[in-house]
Amino acid sequence: MHNRVKLSAAWLATAIAVAGCAGNEPVYQPKAFSPVPIDSTAYVPAVDAFVILMDTSSSMAENQNRHFFAAKDAVNAMNQTIPELGYQGALVTFGPGCLLDKGLARIWYGPATYSTADLGAALGKIQCAGGVTPLDRGFDASASAPAAVQGKTAIFVVSDFRDIDSKKAMKALDALNDKYQGRICVHAVQLGEDKKATAFRDSLGGASNCSSAINATSIASSAALSDYITKTLLMAAPKTGDADGDGVADDRDRCPTTPPGARVNSVGCWWLGDEDVLFDFDKAVIKSTFMLDEAITLLKANREINVEIQGHTDNVGDPAYNVNLSQRRADAVMEYMIANGVSSSRLRAKGYGDTRPHVSNASDQGRALNRRVELHPYR
């Protein structure tokens, strides 16, 4: 009998809320929000999907919809902050709200490839709060998101966490975790400071190693929310950057200190062209200077840089002869640079012969690439 009275009271509250939506209840006005952008190039998704599970029960409608409006503001801010990185996204409510004929939980958006505009449009259609607080039904309705992906799913529960049947809710969450083998991360975001509700919020935050629990006031600022979204949905991208900006990723760059604008080869070394461009066969007299002139311009613009001029050959012929030839060619490049305004104190020349091949000498093409002159900065 007690449960029947309690349920009837909840449905009465729903009816009152519905009447309010059509009558004199205050109209929701979105709170102004300017997100702090997240650098999407610095991060990759830590989860494959997320669900925003929003409470639309009667307690959210108290005090002229204070918590209901706060929930919409929180979800709107989250939606503007989450970067579009290919997640499967969904927006779900629990609590009948205005929709007495639509059940106790409803999927308003998704799961679909996350779009800020589409989730925002769905949020705009949620008009009222009212009725019971069936978080268990909300978890059941959220199951379509992890079913659509292979990795983890984050479920953000935005609620005041009042009037919830905690046993039913935890049972539903345990069923989700069992079905999806621990791939569920619950992030509880509390509106208000009811102590009993906070205790239940914290139990949700401890449901798994990747779960969390906070009060919405802690993410009220744009910066704090950006940090929160980064921690819950993102992880640092693998470090495959390009520190010297030469177009060759750091993990392949053998010469990571080339100056901006330097002409580089496939392994990131400052390259003056193969020796067939600079020199005739078996000669050490420079025949083409345009790449040298480029390098001289860069050296004059970066006077803090010193360079070793390295001569290299293929493996055809006598090794000692090749070392001598490569040294004479490196010396010729150094003399040309000095004659054109580069201080000799910034230069040194070294012939390496065939001891440092760039690629295999097994083909004509490979041998041509190994006949080269490189500039290696040093301090």
**What is the per-residue burial (b if ≥16 Cβ within 10 Å, else e) of 75-90?**
bbbbbbbbbeeebbbb
CA distance to 158, 209, 304, 362, per residue, from 212 (Å): 12, 8, 50, 59
Query: CA 137 to CA 332: how far, in whole Å?
Result: 80
Task: Looking at the chain, list the stretches that DSSP marks H as alpha helix, in order from N- to C-terminal side.
Answer: 2-22, 62-81, 116-124, 135-142, 144-147, 166-179, 195-205, 222-233, 275-278, 290-301, 319-339, 364-370
Query: CA 198 to CA 195: how far, in whole Å?
Result: 5
Pick the more confident residue, 100 or 298: 298
Show me where the domains of the chain are located.
Answer: 2-236, 270-378
Instruction: Name 68's Cβ contacts closer than 8 Å, sequence gap at least 6.
Output: 28, 56, 60, 61, 128, 129
CA distance to 60, 61, 331, per residue, from 68 (Å): 5, 6, 78
Fold of 2-236: Rossmann fold (3.40.50)
pLDDT per position as a tens digit, 26-60: 788 888 899 999 988 788 899 999 999 999 999 99
CATH class of 270-378: alpha beta
What's the pTM?
Answer: 0.61
Pick the more confident residue, 345 or 280: 345
Q: State mean pLDDT over 82-99.
A: 91
Six-digit token pair at 326? 């490569």
pLDDT of residue 187: 97
β-bridge mates for residue 107, sequence order: 92
pLDDT per position as a tens digit, 183-206: 999 999 999 999 999 999 999 999
CB atoms within 10 A of CB 186: 26
Query: CA 73 to CA 54: how far, in whole Å?
Result: 11
Q: Which residue has the tokens 């070294």?
A: 350
pLDDT of residue 286: 86
